């Protein structure tokens, strides 16, 4: 539930007349308890988020060695349910003839317990099994955080092979372009199954019919070719076939049916029908594709 804030205003009295200029917000037990509960709820949520996101890993150190029933550890850094602790080197006396876990508690103190559940609930470090005078066996139970989980400051920048940096407004001073040689396994280019590039005018190169081979056929009595094929330069596969039809009384073709083909050059992908209109001189004044 969204926390409903209280707007507090000062109680102001005119020092000369004694009149109340502004009625201040009254401080009541209800309002103060609401504030206290809001603080408590926010703290609880923060702890839950920290425990869920960060957990209880060992960041560095906390290596153990033992002599008889004394276990020693090196200094290190670890999280206990999302809370970070810097632990100094130290030692602890182990219990004889017992299996026991060493763990970092939520107060930052390293302790031992026979309960795996207690150790798992905090930051479990090592397990030791002992006899009357020495350690029989030990198991490294640390959950060591990988360095890949953390980003170094030197790796955050606006340069090559770095994680993009955001400014104070959360905006990135960087750009995403098509300069890369490949993206997601697809290469950059104008061929089949390639990510299209753009020319100097920001037009998609793959959509420019001028970059395809053009074959004409079906010339009529007026010298007009009714069929034009656009073929890809790389493999000569058919990209688009334009067919003129529906001539008017003057022989001007009023319909241009354009069939676009898939990469194999034989399978039709989609068709666009263009309606052509002419002026009195027989010049084209408009070409309107179907919606």
Residues 46 and 61 in one domain: no
At 194 the pLDDT is 72
What mean pLDDT do residues 225-233 have?
91
Q: What is the pLDDT of residue 123?
A: 92
Looking at the structure, do residues 32 and 85 belong to the same domain, yes or no? no
Cα-only R_g, the chain: 38
Closest CA to 25 of 9, 6, 12, 36: 9
**Pair (257, 222) in one structural domain:** yes
Write out the two tokens for 291: 């919606």
pLDDT at 202 over 70: no
Give residue for tokens 């920290």. 50
Residue 183 lies in a domain: no
Q: What CA–CA distance (Å, rounded) separates 21 from 12?
A: 5
Tell me, yes or no, whether 96 and 44 share the same domain.
Answer: no
**DSSP E strand boundaries for 197-252:** 213-219, 225-231, 238-247
140 & 220 share domain: no
Q: What is the CATH number of the domain that holds 241?
A: 2.40.128.720
pLDDT band at 40 (very low <50, low <70, confident <90, very high): confident
* Residue 257 reports pLDDT greater than 90: yes
Which structural domain, as residue segments, surrounds residue 148?
Answer: 57-176
Q: Which of 159, 176, 193 is the last residue of a domain?
A: 176
Does one domain contain both 62 and 18?
no
| pLDDT in the model for residue 156 | 64
pLDDT in the model for residue 205:
58
Q: What is the pTM of this model?
A: 0.41
Average pLDDT, the chain: 83
Judge if 127 and 66 occupy the same domain: yes
251 and 162 share a domain? no
The alpha carbon dihedral of 48, 50, 52, 57 has a sign of: negative
Please report the pLDDT score of residue 44 as a whole number: 75
- Domain presence at residue 82: yes
Per the domain annotation, does 73 fall within a domain? yes
- 63-121, pLDDT tens digit by residue? 999 889 999 999 999 988 888 899 999 999 999 999 999 999 999 999 999 999 999 99
Contacts of 42 (CB under 8 A, 6+ apart): 3
Q: Using CA of residue 180, residue 183, residue 185, residue 186, what is the dihedral sign?
A: negative
Question: CA 206 to CA 117: how far, in whole Å?
Answer: 62
As a whole number of angstroms, the distance between CA 187 and CA 196 comes to 9
Is residue 288 over pLDDT 80?
yes
- Residue 2 is predicted with a pLDDT of 77
Q: Does 165 lie in the same domain as 106?
A: yes
Question: Is 182 among the domain residues?
Answer: no
One domain for residues 96 and 49: no
The answer to whether 78 and 57 have CB atoms below 8 angstroms apart is yes
Domain assignment of residue 2, yes or no: no
* pLDDT value at residue 216: 93
CB 276 within 8 A of CB 246: no
Q: Are residues 154 and 216 in the same domain?
A: no
Asked if 239 contacts 265 with a C-beta cutoff of 8 angstroms, the reply is: yes
Strand 268-278 relative to strand 284-289: parallel, antiparallel, unpaired? antiparallel
Which of 33-60 are b and which e, b meaning 16 or more Cβ less than 10 Å from the residue's Cβ? eeeeeeeeeeeeeeeeebeeebebbbbe
pLDDT attached to residue 56? 84
Residue 182 has pLDDT above 80, yes or no: no
> From CA 244, how far away is CA 133, in angstroms rounded?
100
Residue 148 lies in a domain: yes
Structural domain total, the chain: 3
- Domain presence at residue 168: yes
CATH number at residue 88: 2.60.520
Q: Are 255 and 225 found together in one domain?
A: yes
Whether 1 maps to a domain, the answer reads no
């Amino acid at each position: 539930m969204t926390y409903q804030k209280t707007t507090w205003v000062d109680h102001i009295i005119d020092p000369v007349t004694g009149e109340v200029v502004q009625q201040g917000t009254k401080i009541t037990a209800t309002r103060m308890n609401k504030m206290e509960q809001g603080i408590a709820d926010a703290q609880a949520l923060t702890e839950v988020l920290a425990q869920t996101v960060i957990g209880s890993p060992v960041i560095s150190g906390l290596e153990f060695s033992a002599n008889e029933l004394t276990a020693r550890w090196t200094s290190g850094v670890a999280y206990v349910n999302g809370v970070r602790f810097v632990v100094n080197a130290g030692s602890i006396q182990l219990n004889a003839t017992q299996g026991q876990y060493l763990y970092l508690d939520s107060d930052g103190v390293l302790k031992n317990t026979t309960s795996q559940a207690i150790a798992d609930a905090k930051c479990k470090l090592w397990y030791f099994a002992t006899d009357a005078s020495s350690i029989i066996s030990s198991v490294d139970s640390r959950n060591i955080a990988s360095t890949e989980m953390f980003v170094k400051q030197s790796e955050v920048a606006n340069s090559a092979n770095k994680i993009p940096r955001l400014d104070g407004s959360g905006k990135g001073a960087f750009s995403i372009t098509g300069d890369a040689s490949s993206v997601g396994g697809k290469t950059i280019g104008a061929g089949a199954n390639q990510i299209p590039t753009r020319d100097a005018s920001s037009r998609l190169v793959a959509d420019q019919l001028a970059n395809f081979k053009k074959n004409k056929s079906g010339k009529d009595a007026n010298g007009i070719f009714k069929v034009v094929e656009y073929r890809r330069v790389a493999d000569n596969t058919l990209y688009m076939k334009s067919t003129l039809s529906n001539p008017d009384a003057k022989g001007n073709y009023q319909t241009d049916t354009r069939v676009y083909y898939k990469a194999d050059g034989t399978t039709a992908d989609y068709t666009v029908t263009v309606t052509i209109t002419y002026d009195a001189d027989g010049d084209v004044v408009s070409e309107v594709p179907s919606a």
